[in-house]
Amino acid sequence: MTQEKIYIAITVMAVANFLTRVFPFLFFIKHEPPKFILFVEKSFPPIIMTILIFYTLSGVNFTEAPYGTKEIASIFFTAIVHCRFTNYLVSIFGGTIFYMFLVQFVN
């Protein structure tokens, strides 16, 4: 993207993000939200989190050695650390350092 497009993209993201936050304040002051909106809002978060995990890995080449094993190992490492300590900070930093070690020092 050009510098100019980046500024437009930032504006687009700022507006979209604010819309998601202001949405209920605009529409549901007086009446209850329709059922299908409640369904999407309630069921969507775990789905989007899963999609985002895959999306962030979409640049990984799974057909060539090491076949994405470093990414998969780091995901398991992050998950285990998180289940053990239930601390966002420890899990995210631990997982990232583990992955950085794998891609920088392990062949």
Partner 1 sequence: MDLHSREFKIAFKTSIPVMMGYTVLGFAFGLLLISSGKPWYIALLMSIVIYAGALQFLAVGFFSSKLGMIDIFIASIMVNIRQSFYGLSLLKKFKKTKFKPYLIFALTDETYALLTTIKEKENIKKKWYYFYLSLLNQSYWISGTLMGSIFGNSIHFNTKGLDFSLTALFVVLAIEQYKKDKNLTPFFIGAFASIVTFFVVSRENMLLFAILFSIVLMFLFKKRLEK
Sign, CA dihedral 36-37-42-46, equals positive
Smallest distance from partner 1 to CB 38, Å: 8
Closest to partner 1 by CB, 9 vs 67, is: 9
First to last CA, the chain: 33
Closest to partner 1 by CB, 1 vs 65, is: 1
* DSSP at 33: P
How far apart, in whole angstroms, are the C-alpha atoms of residue 63 and residue 55? 17
Which residues in this chain contact partner 1 in the complex, by CB under 8 A? Answer: 1, 6, 8-25, 28-29, 33, 39-59, 71, 74-75, 78-79, 82-83, 88-89, 91-93, 95-96, 99-104
Tokens for 31? 């009446």
Closest to partner 1 by CB, 20 vs 65, is: 20
Smallest distance from partner 1 to CB 40, Å: 7
Closest to partner 1 by CB, 49 vs 65, is: 49
Smallest distance from partner 1 to CB 33, Å: 7
DSSP-derived 3-state class of residue 80: helix
How far apart, in whole angstroms, are the C-alpha atoms of residue 44 and residue 52? 12
